[in-house]
Amino acid sequence: MLTKSPRLNHRPSTGTPRQRRTGPIVLGSLVLGILVALVGVAVARALSGGPTPAAGTPAPPPSNPPAASAPPVAPTGTAPSAPPGPAATAAAGTVQALPDGPLHLPAATGNIAGVPVGYPHTTSGAISAAYHYSQALGGTLNADRGAAIAHVVADSPRWPKAPDEIAAIVTNTRRGLGLPERAATGETAFITGTPQAYMLRSAATLDEVDVLLLARIDSYSPPSGNRATAQVVDTPMHWTGSDWRLADPQPVSASDRTRLTVDPNDPAALALGWRKVSA
């Protein structure tokens, strides 16, 4: 998940206009307020805002930490295929009544540059795209890889600077972890962003679904050790005619970020409007 500036942490009341972006995006920030992932999540602007300690105590650094993020990958791969069964009937768009319990996310039908793509034109399809895009954006410490992912998942007319902004967010995240700006061969540092719950910020039309994600961000680097944070991420999804894409995430106010950042297993999460997801 990636984060630019505080983004996925705001849940305005009905009728409140969306707040304009005021700074670079962050996808899931760490100690210095970085990453969103989406995201980042957190998230890229999608995972913005200052970090909040995640519930529980982080595990000690693994004896064999995962290798650094995969090298950059050109945006090539398998184009989405038509979803089978009932999802195929949703080509014109479907506003769904979502369950009160956990939402099982529809699977992607294609893959580009290692990123799952191809989701049904439904509300749950938008949530699934937000989940997987934020997870991809919030799981790299390689700026070039981050830019490549942004080329795949961002709606370029609505977020034209996404590749540059995501690359800058990854670089800032590396600084926050005490790492050099460029990933080195054999680097043992890692970061992962895992969305655990969702909330609809708005779903005014069939083609515009603004999804809030509650994500856990785990990281490790030799200078900073193991860290775990929780992040609320804004992932506004736009239907482009063939798939969902990530539009320019919006800031989340500090007060809403504090109010909405909870343990997804706590009864308070349900009362606030969070619903769990299962991929």
C-alpha distances (whole Å) from 196 to each of 128, 134, 230, 262, 279 are 12, 11, 10, 11, 10
Angstrom distance (rounded) from CA 115 to CA 232? 22
- CB-based contact 134:42 (threshold 8 Å): yes
Does residue 122 have a pLDDT over 50?
yes
> Is beta strand 52-53 parallel, antiparallel or unpaired with respect to 77-78?
unpaired
Tell me which residue of 211, 219, 198, 206 sits closest to 279, measured CA to CA.
198
pLDDT of residue 80: 57
Angstrom distance (rounded) from CA 48 to CA 231? 8
Angstrom distance (rounded) from CA 240 to CA 236? 13
Residue spans of alpha helices (H) in the chain: 123-137, 143-153, 162-176, 254-260, 267-272
Name the residue with higher pLDDT: 205 or 227. 227
pLDDT in tens, 162-182: 999 999 999 999 999 999 999
> Residue with structure tokens 């706590």?
266
pLDDT of residue 132: 97
Please state the rounded mean pLDDT for residues 258-267: 92
Q: Which residues contact residue 186 at a Cβ distance below 8 angstroms, ignoring those fewer than 6 apart?
A: 67, 68
- CB-based contact 49:259 (threshold 8 Å): no
Please state the rounded mean pLDDT for residues 4-14: 39
Q: Which residues contact residue 150 at a Cβ distance below 8 angstroms, ignoring those fewer than 6 apart?
A: 44, 137, 162, 163, 165, 166, 167
User: What average pLDDT is seen over the chain?
Assistant: 76
Looking at residue 152, its amino acid is: V
- Residue 93's pLDDT band, with cuts at 50, 70 and 90, is low
- Residue 56's pLDDT band, with cuts at 50, 70 and 90, is very low
Tell me which residue of 89, 24, 17 sits closest to 249, measured CA to CA.
24
pLDDT of residue 78: 55
Q: If you compute the radius of gyration of the chain from its CA atoms, what whole number of angstroms results?
A: 17
Q: What are phi and psi of 276, to 5 degrees?
A: -70, 160
Name the residue with higher pLDDT: 279 or 118. 118
Chain centroid offset of residue 91 CA: 25
Please state the rounded mean pLDDT for residues 256-267: 92
Does residue 269 have a pLDDT over 50?
yes
C-alpha distances (whole Å) from 191 to each of 36, 41, 167, 171 are 11, 11, 15, 13
- Residue 191's pLDDT band, with cuts at 50, 70 and 90, is very high
